[in-house]
Structure 1
Amino acid sequence: MRENVLVSIVSDQTLPNILIIKELEQINFKLFIFISTEEMERRGKTDTIVSTSKIDSRRVKVVKVDQDNYLEILNKLNSIEEIKDKNIFYYLNITCGTKPMSITLLDFYRDYENKIVIYIPVGKNYYIDFYSGKKIDISYRVTVEEYLSSYNIKIENKKKIPQHIDCLNDRKEMTYKLWDFALNNIDKVNEIIKNLRDTYKNNRNKISRDEIKDIAGELLNLINLDLESESHDRVKNWYNYFTGGWFEELVYLRTRDILGVKENDHIVIGIQIVKGGVKNELDVVVCLENRLYYIECKTGLGEKQNDVFKETFEKLARMKDQKQFGLSMRNYLLTLDKKVLYDVNGDLQKEERESTYGIKFYGLKEIEEAGLDGIIKEIFGIKGD
């Protein structure tokens, strides 16, 4: 029986290595060899690949090299017995790393007949057989959790997400009723949201059942909700729902149904993530075709640009850091705002904002013109009805 070894080059972009490992999972690799550097190992890149791919660490060997020194890399490779057995078939993944690392690996295996050299073009779901030029489709699709894990990002509230999904599915008809009402009464809805938030803040982050009924009575009647039968914890949940949670759930529901993706695998809502001690809460996250999409949902952005607006855009801009979230992440803002995003003529400040923050955004006018479904289809490149 033929023995197989996978040799991969490690860099900041861990996802290409994980994709190849998962795609070739049916091959019983005797050994996984990672050509890395001191810096990449210090930052735990190989460990991240191994843990996300769920491969046996006992079958892993790391070779640390100077990423820009051809001769040093060549000497290191020559010193490793496991990578120069000509009876073994070698899979060489040269997608990542520096050019000297890739060139040296190619030169080292030049005279080996038992090999295939693999390269994944940026953003593509196929790999290329380097010497023949043949394109081979990658059928594996990473989940949201796998994508985030590939960049060493942990989901802190993972166990609570299924409960949230059950809850939003149970009240989806309420959410659609609120959406229909908001489209024709956005000023009234935003005023209710503002009053709820002000009351909560003035009461030191507390709000009573009666206060919600007094402020949002019209919305309660609209969805036929009786707060008297709700527990204290559920009252807080409904406060979060009325102050913007309903819009997040709406975007989640429409995105899920339009894309037809599996809940809690390729689309999640309200996840709390942490990386390097820095925490963030993400509204709607989708992993489609091995690309991560993040949609921030806001009912409003505050009256002034230094309110929620600046905070929101800076958060999204930070998440465009390729080293933090990968080359394949796309960020979007969907908001029911009709003031802050627009200039004095009522036109969307699109070019200025997108060039400054590197994200795409849609305000109320765009949603009214294209429809929410139309905006979602545009985000994911879906054409037609």
Structure 2
Amino acid sequence: MTTHICLVSAQAAPNLLPVLDPELKPKEVALLVSEKMRKAANALSTVLKELGIRTTTVPLEDEHSSSVIEEALLKIASEREGEEILLNLTGGTKLMALVAQTVAQAANWRSFYVDMDTDAVVWLDKTPGKKLAEQLRLPHYLKSYGFELPDSPVRPQITRDQHDLMHTLITQTGSLEKPLTQLNWLTQLAEDKKQLKIEMSDQQAGNHSLEALLRHFTEAGLLQVNQNTISYTDEAARDFVKGGWLELHAYKCVEAITGETGIRDKAANLTVIGGGVKNEMDIAIMARNRLFVIECKTAHMDRPEAPKANDTLFKLSEICRRVGGLGTRGMLASYRPVADSERKLARALNIELVCGQDLKNLRDQIRAWISAKSRS
């Protein structure tokens, strides 16, 4: 029987990935846990148990004491005499790792480190490294960071009419930008009023560009126009018109490159709850054993009533940091161009930008983004 000893830290993935690898999967995992990491250990333990792996939590009364750490490790060893023990040195504090490696050498345990940039196990006994099998899916990954999914991940199906409409909106980005801004604003008003109808002003109703855009949405079966009144087919149609179409377009791009990029799992409109706080992700992708998050915006972010581009970038960066750990990557797909200052902020926050006319190449941009080496 094989046991993994894991040093718990805020980053769950390096402890979870080797456990899921068929060649390394243990019967039991012993979690060495400081007081500060108790919540992280509970989340990781929950996932391990769901995966059918016996889990033992070994609390450290003082993670700053080498003797306390050594005593805890020796206790694990004495209770598993004659069993194979593998020590995962990726997590924990530096002191925990140093003491654990010293004990491992004395006890003849094999030790390894998970390199998250290469998705490989690095053995400390100079055994050739091993590429980890990509087994992670969104629910277990997110749960390992302490987040619950109140609903099952959504993997939407796109109709032919929706596909054709999205193609029109993407290929005519420049000419449709102004009328789409008006339609977004009207549709947001309808949603705020919890209505499926909204009245246009005479000026809006007489706008030829808006009239032409409304025809596209009418042909797709999403709304009807009667004189000055826009009537949405249902709430889902209203959401699509307000900007949900760009999320579906991004999801369609992800779906198209799933096989070639090794995407393990994907979802749209994913809601996760942690610490009583709800976090929403337009598109969530599991690839290369890490989480990728795409935020989609069709509103003018320089308008008073709209979320500002800087706020959107900071919010996306915070979601990436809290929900998926240090390896998580974020992308903002915006129908509108953003200012140079906002591009600089995106680079500083390690957020990928695909804006305006660049959306025509969104599939290629996502492919390159997912395949790129980490910049952090």
The interval holding the TM-score normalised by the smaller chain is 0.7 to 0.9
TM-score by length of 2: 0.82
Find the aligned partners of 1:177 and 1:35 in 2 and give their Cα distance: 55
Shift of residue 256, structure 1, vs aligned partner? 1.7
Q: Does 1:37 align with 2:34?
A: yes
After superposition, give the CA deviation of every residue in 1:58-106 in whole Å (9 maximum; x if it has no partner): x322211222211111123334464561x22111111111122122222
Change in CA separation of 1:192 and 1:228 when aligned onto 2, cut-off 3 Å: closer
Q: Structure 2 CA distance, aligned partners of 1:151 and 1:23?
A: 19
Looking at structure 2, the residues matched to 233 and 152 of structure 1 have their Cα atoms a distance apart, in angstroms, of: 38
Which residue does the alignment assign to 1:206?
A: 195
8 A Cα contact 1:121 1:127, kept in partner: yes
In 2: Cα distance, 1:98 partner to 1:257 partner? 41
Q: How does 1:342-381 map to 2 (within 5 A)?
A: 342=339, 347=340, 349-355=342-348, 357-367=349-359, 371-381=361-371
Mapped to 2, the partners of 1:263 and 1:382 lie a distance apart of 13
Q: Does 1:69 align with 2:65?
A: yes
When residues 381 and 98 of structure 1 are mapped into structure 2, their CA distance, relative to the original with a 3 A threshold, is same
Q: For residues 235 and 88 of structure 1, what CA distance do their matches in structure 2 show? A: 61
Of 124, 140, 148, which residue of structure 2 is paired with 1:130?
124
* Inter-partner Cα distance in structure 2 for 1:290 and 1:169: 32
Superimposed CA distance per residue, residues 176-214 of structure 1 (whole angstroms, 9 cap, x where no aligned partner) = 23333445422222222223323544xx23232887xx7
Secondary structure, counterpart of 1:153 in structure 2? coil
Q: 1:110 to 1:17 in 2, by over 3 A?
A: same
Q: Distance in 2 between matches of 1:233 and 1:307?
A: 22
Answer yes or no: is the 8 Å Cα contact 1:78–1:84 preserved in 2: no
Amino acid at match of 1:190: T
Alignment of 1:131-146 (within 5 A): 131-146=125-140
CA distance in 2 between partners of 1:249 and 1:312 (Å): 19
1:98 aligns with 2:93: yes
Question: What is aligned with 1:312?
Answer: 312
Instruction: Name the TM-score, length of structure 1 as normaliser.
Output: 0.81
Distance change (3 Å), C-alpha of 1:170 and 1:277 = farther
Q: Distance in 1 between matches of 2:135 and 2:183?
A: 42
Gaps of at least 5 residues in structure 1 are none
Verify: 1:121 aligned to 2:119, yes or no. Answer: no
Cα shift readout 1:142-161 (whole Å, capped 9, x = no counterpart): 112222122111222316x2
**Consecutive aligned runs of 4 or more in structure 1 exceeding 6 Å deviation:** 261-264
The AA in structure 1 aligned to 2:351 is I
1:18 deviates by 0.8
Verify the 8 A CA contact 1:209 1:228 in the aligned structure 2. no
**What's the C-alpha RMSD, in Å, of the aligned pairs?**
3.3
The CA distance in 2 between the partners of 1:328 and 1:227, in whole Å, is: 39
Between stretches 10-19 and 31-40, larger displacement belongs to 31-40
Q: 1:222 to 1:324 in 2, by over 3 A?
A: closer
| Larger deviation, residues 115-124 vs 270-279 | 115-124
The residue type paired with residue 351 of structure 1 is K
Alignment-mate amino acid for residue 5 of structure 2: V
Please say if residues 334 and 362 of structure 1, whose CA atoms lie closer than 8 Å, have aligned partners that are also in contact: yes
| Aligned length in residues | 358
**Ranges in structure 2 where 5+ consecutive residues have no aligned partner:** 225-230
Q: Is the 8 A contact 1:6 1:91 kept in 2?
A: yes
Distance 1:26-1:7 versus aligned 2 partners, 3 A rule: closer
Q: For the residues of structure 2 that align with 1:135 and 1:52, how far apart are their CA atoms? A: 26
What residue in structure 2 maps to residue 276 of structure 1?
275
Contact 1:156 1:271 in 2 (8 A): no
Cα 1:218–1:7 shift into 2, 3 Å: same
Matched, 1:330 2:326: no
Determine the C-alpha separation between the residues in 2 that align with 1:111 and 1:247. Answer: 57
SS in 1 for 2:106: coil
Q: SS in structure 2 opposite 1:253?
A: helix
> Taking structure 1 as reference, are residues 265 and 71 closer, same or farther at Cα in structure 2, changes over 3 Å only?
same
Counterpart residue number, 1:267: 266
Specify which of 183, 189, 192 is matched with residue 192 of structure 1.
183
Q: Helix, strand or coil for the counterpart of 2:254? A: helix
Letter in structure 1 aligned against 2:43: T
CA distance in structure 1 between the aligned counterparts of 2:30 and 2:117, rounded to whole angstroms: 24
Structure 2 partner of 1:89: 84
Q: How does 1:234-253 map to 2 (within 5 A)?
A: 234-253=233-252
CA pair 169-145 structure 1, distance change in 2 beyond 3 A:
farther
One-letter identity of the residue aligned with 1:314: F
Is residue 41 of structure 2 the alignment partner of residue 46 of structure 1?
Answer: yes
Deviations 1:274-298 (A, max 9, x none): 1111112211111111121111111
Q: Is the 8 A contact 1:209 1:235 kept in 2?
A: no
TM-superposition CA deviations, 1:313-338 (whole Å, max 9, x none) = 231132243x5421110111110113
